[in-house]
Amino acid sequence: MLDGDVTDSVEAMSLSLNRDHIDIYSASWGPDDDGKTVDGPALLARRAFREGVQQVISVIHLLSDLRLQCSMRYSGH
């Protein structure tokens, strides 16, 4: 990703690669900034961010459900 043009597609593919091993997403390479306007992630990169967040939320819900089930079993319910 760092040796060529950073397009929306390249950003999205990079953000989606090995999602299970990435804990924090950072655009440390920086968007274009002329001092007046700041560029943000484009459509595909935003989608990659959203899908990553949704995956994390799904895992949190799953773990919460498992914790509740274990708690109910332990208390005899």
pLDDT tens readout for residues 2-54:
677 878 898 888 888 887 776 655 555 556 667 777 777 889 989 988 998 89
Residue 3 lies in a domain: no
Domains in the chain: how many in total?
A: 1
Residue-number span of the structural domain to which 49 is assigned: 8-74
Q: Please determine, for residue 60, whether its predicted confidence score (pLDDT) is greater than 80.
A: yes
* Burial class, 25, CB count within 10 angstroms (exposed 0-12 / middle 13-18 / buried 19+): middle
Query: Structure pTM?
Result: 0.57
Residue 1 lies in a domain: no
